[in-house]
A and B are shown apart, each in its own frame.
Chain A
Amino acid sequence: MNTTASPSAAAPPRAWPAEGLTRVPYWVYQDEAIYAREQEKIFRGASWSFLCLDAELPGPNTYRTSDIGDMPVVVTRDAEGVLHAFENRCAHRGALLALKRSGEAKEIACIYHNWTYDLKGNLQGVAFRRGVAGKGGMPADAKPECNAPRKLRLELYHGVVFGTLSDQTPPMEEYLGPEVAAKFKRVMNRPVKPLGGYTQILNSNWKLYLENVKDSYHASLLHLFFAKFRINRLTHKGGVLVGGDGGSHVSFSHEGTSSGNEYEKAGLRSAAGGFTLEAPQLVASVDEWGDGGTIQILGMFPGFVLQQIKNCLAVRRVVPRGVNQTELLWTVFGYADDDEAMLQRRLLQANLIGPAGFISMEDGAATGFVQRGVAGAHDYNSFVEMGGAGVASDESRVTETSVRGFWQAWRRRMEM
């Protein structure tokens, strides 16, 4: 009898610091055993992974490749227009089934020995299954179908496709929590149109990027572009909402509500200078939602971001690629009913985001600075006490509440 414990029964490889959520141990970004456990307990566990936009599968018989953590997946729209997703792994000897990022297909054939699958992920054909001229082939009782790629449970939530391998993952509405869900629906309020994308390589653990997204405290301290042009300071009206089990959050702000010169009084680097744009049309936005909201960053555990920065809308997919490398895949979109002026506005404001973005280029580097900074400090911790020790919504963005929320969700799933 095989008495080896399954990986899921294995004891946690490390113990969390006694202080709780106000401390994050640096081994968490560097330990191979932690990384492997995350793949199983988080990505292949009871979590929703963002796969793609509904609009990125434009018609029947189309597919798109995506990921759930390390696991490659294929998302398809079948001839009837129904979405499916399954593991991108052949039942035979494990080769990738779909090789391109996207395409059209009525069925998918493995390149290696030509086994074929329908768009639901069912194994349909095994080449030479009965051999040739009565010789070779598979035994009559062989059941290669049992080894078929795993199918994902999907939820199409307001134009966005999420997948999970678990029956336990609660519905998206509950997973986000009602307040965060309302902000999700605010942006995804009608059909969208993809405008393109790119991939940013982050030389850091995936969690450092999620922490960065959830860290409303850094926004106008690291990203000086906004502060210098007074586009978004923490003194503007805004807040942070935390939902679900702590893993979902939204931070938001409203323009033109700055009350004064707090930055100058504090002598902060980001207050120095203060110059104006020669071409201010780059940041000229219109209030599309009629609520004055200029920035809304929504992050969902483990690796999804929905962004509204003025009129620049994007989803970001965070894919771990080993302990210290992460892919950040950006897809920028507009609405299907945008007029030409709105399209041009969105494209111009795309200057703000991505690897070359005026307000986001620093994030790509900042996560790497932490990864490098903690290299010799596995058993030391970060200090996360802005806004106290709790995980709750906050009217102030000078808080790390949603960072603690992220770790709360992480610890629960990791059983650590």
Chain B
Amino acid sequence: MAANAIERQFAVEQLLARYAQALDGDALESWPDFFVEQGRYRILTAENYSQGLPLPLVQADSRAMLRDRVAALRHANIYEAQHYRHVVSCTVVEKVDAQTVTAVSNFMVARIMHDGATTLFATGRYLDRIRLSNDAAEAKFEERLVILDSSRIDTLLAIPL
């Protein structure tokens, strides 16, 4: 039996919460597993997005590309020790078909540097397309589009949003 609206909402919010906890807890290796095999992840600025300009800050078209980014962050890229604190809210879920929903959420991300300096690093929206199992027990991103409210990025954006 297909999931009802409450079950869908719960499944989506669980996915969003687990995703945020994984990134904030430095479990980057589990990040690709939140996506289906051909899942797509992009970060765009709202300014580009609203003008139909396609330039991404980050784009991955598969789990393999997400794993490459994790490998680069772990072994190649150099950045000062830092972590994020995500706050995700106002999730609106719309049913597409029995297995698919879209979801829009707001996020705020604080960045905490190793010396304790804390800034509001990014705010924006997640535009998600999510695949649910029949009973909504399992949920994965088919697409996660991160729309940054601001076009300004302080210093660098290493850890994913």
Binding site for B on A (CB under 8 A): 101, 194-203, 222, 224-225, 228, 273, 275, 277-279, 282, 327, 332, 343, 347-348, 350-351, 354-356, 358, 361-362, 364-365, 368
B59 within 8 A of A: yes
CB-CB < 8 A to A350: which residues of B? Answer: 55-57, 59
Chain B 144-161: CB-based contact to A (< 8 A → 1; otherwise 0): 000000011111111000
Interface size class of B (residues with CB under 8 A): 35 or more
The answer to whether B155 and A203 touch across the interface, beta carbons within 8 angstroms, is yes
A275 and B67 CA atoms in complex are apart in Å by 12
CB-CB < 8 A to B156: which residues of A? Answer: 200, 355-356, 361-362, 364-365
Q: Which residue of B lies closest to A349 (CB)?
A: B59
A153 and B119 CA atoms in complex are apart in Å by 41
A364 and B154 CA atoms in complex are apart in Å by 8
The number of A-B residue pairs with CB atoms under 8 Å apart is 116
The answer to whether B78 and A362 touch across the interface, beta carbons within 8 angstroms, is yes
The 7 closest A-B pairs by CB, nearest first: A196-B55, A196-B53, A196-B48, A278-B64, A355-B153, A356-B157, A361-B156
Given contacts A275-B71, A279-B68, A361-B77, contact A199 B57 (CB under 8 A): no
CB under 8 Å from chain A, chain B span 37-65:
43-45, 47-48, 51, 53-62, 64-65
B6 within 8 A of A: no
A89 and B100 CA atoms in complex are apart in Å by 53
Q: Which residue of A lies closest to B53 (CB)?
A: A196
The answer to whether A194 and B54 touch across the interface, beta carbons within 8 angstroms, is no
Least Cβ distance of A368 to chain B in Å? 6
Least Cβ distance of A361 to chain B in Å? 4
A356 and B58 CA atoms in complex are apart in Å by 7
The answer to whether B78 and A278 touch across the interface, beta carbons within 8 angstroms, is no
B17 within 8 A of A: no
The answer to whether B55 and A332 touch across the interface, beta carbons within 8 angstroms, is yes
The answer to whether A275 and B75 touch across the interface, beta carbons within 8 angstroms, is yes
Least Cβ distance of B60 to chain A in Å? 8
Given contacts A275-B71, A278-B68, A347-B54, contact A365 B155 (CB under 8 A): yes
B76 within 8 A of A: yes
CB-CB < 8 A to A332: which residues of B? Answer: 55
Given contacts A198-B45, A278-B67, A361-B158, contact A351 B153 (CB under 8 A): no
